[in-house]
Amino acid sequence: MHAAVEADPRSSVTAVMSSSPERAEAFAREHGVPAAHASLEHLLDDPRVDVVYVSTTNERHRDQVLAAAAAGKHVLCEKPLALTLDDARAMRDACAAAGVAMGTNHHLRHAPTHRAMRRLVEAGAIGTPVAARVFTAVYLPARLQTWRVHSPEAGGGVALDITVHDTDTLRFLLGEDPRAVTALATNQGMASAGLEDGMMGVMRFASGLLASFHDAFTVRHAGTGLELHGTEGSLIGRDVMSQEPRGSVVLRRDGVEEPVDVGERESLYVRAVRRYNDAVLSGGIPAASGEDGLWSLAVALAAAQSCATGRAVAVSDPVGIAA
């Protein structure tokens, strides 16, 4: 993210904060960051800081975003926004009351493959969408097998780490919201007891469209993908649920398969920061707003509830419900 912030001439990394002062100082030295702070209070008191990027573990997001808003700092927060909808709404409301821009770092909206797929859906290339399939079944690298698989209190598990991405990407492509989720979870040995490291399920969208999803930390060789199927054709994306601007898309109609030109392979994070900076400087809405973060959290929590109860769980509009 440091490189993405520096890539836009309108922004630069002026300070870093970590619960470990040594880690903060090492990061600052390595990347040429002017200041390293040992506390959030010191960071927010730094007059050079206009925007705070919150990338801590999930259970810390709420308090840190509330503090940033109270200090008048704009906020770009990692997903999931929080561990509960009430907390996420409090964050959204605090930023609105303070007049600061709140964005959710749903980077997959900025993938060239997904933006090309969205353009084709909007142009009617596949007719009316009727079904979708997304799979982000990957193998979590050893360096990341920490709180994500061992700390339920930090919001570990695939639902809050991956299903949120599936949800936001599908909403971005389809322009509609999930209204119910049915899911089953498993623990295949990577995660500690009480945490899921694999999940499969189905979302039902407002139009009746069904979207299946498979998320995992334990699958080494599946690759990732996203498919949209309509009345007139299908869009097939392979290796597209990635942090990198890679992957391919084909449009399949009437037995003919055409490669889709996805355009420039720009970094997802560079574009995400640029779009966020646009919102801050113009007073507009970020490409992935706090409301978008609320929707992805609501669906992930509903998926987890479905796994726990063995039942389909309705998804109410999380944006319009008072905190």
Cα 184 from Cα 308, distance rounded (Å): 8
Q: Where are the domains of the chain?
A: 2-106+271-286, 108-268+297-314
Please state the CATH superfamily assignment of the domain spanning residues 108-268+297-314 in this structure. Answer: Dihydrodipicolinate Reductase; domain 2 (3.30.360.10)
Give dist(CA 106, CA 286) in Å, integer: 11
Residues 255 and 215: their CA atoms lie apart, in Å, by 30
pTM of the model: 0.95
Determine the straight-line distance between the first and last CA of the chain, rounded to whole angstroms.
31
Strand-pairing partners, residue 192, are: none
Element (H, E) at 293: helix 290-309
What is the identity of the amino acid at 74? H
320 pLDDT band (50/70/90 cuts)?
A: confident
Question: What ranges make up the beta strands (E) of 32-128?
Answer: 35-37, 51-54, 74-77, 102-104
Q: How far is CA 265 from CA 120, 122, 170, 227, in A?
A: 18, 21, 21, 20
d(CA 291, CA 296): 9
List pLDDT tens digits, range 258-301.
Answer: 999 999 999 999 999 999 999 999 999 999 999 999 999 999 99
Residue 321: pLDDT band with limits 50, 70, 90: low
| 2-106+271-286, CATH topology level | Rossmann fold (3.40.50)
Residue 253, strand partner residues: 256
Instruction: Give the SS3 label for residue 192.
Output: coil
CB-based contacts of 137, cutoff 8 Å, min separation 6: 198, 214, 215, 216, 218, 219, 222, 224
pLDDT above 70 for 323: no
Tokens of 178: 């999930």
What confidence tens digit (pLDDT) does each residue in 4-19 have? 999 999 999 999 999 8
Over residues 213-252, the pLDDT tens digits come to 999 999 999 999 999 999 999 999 999 999 999 999 999 9
Rounded distance between C-alpha atoms, residue 205 and residue 202, angstroms: 10
Convert the pLDDT of each residue in 149-179 to its tens digit: 999 999 999 999 999 999 999 999 999 999 9
Q: How far is CA 222 from CA 14, 43, 218, 219, in A?
A: 40, 42, 10, 6
User: What's the chain's length in residues?
Assistant: 323
List strand residue ranges (DSSP E) for 50-118, in order. Answer: 51-54, 74-77, 102-104
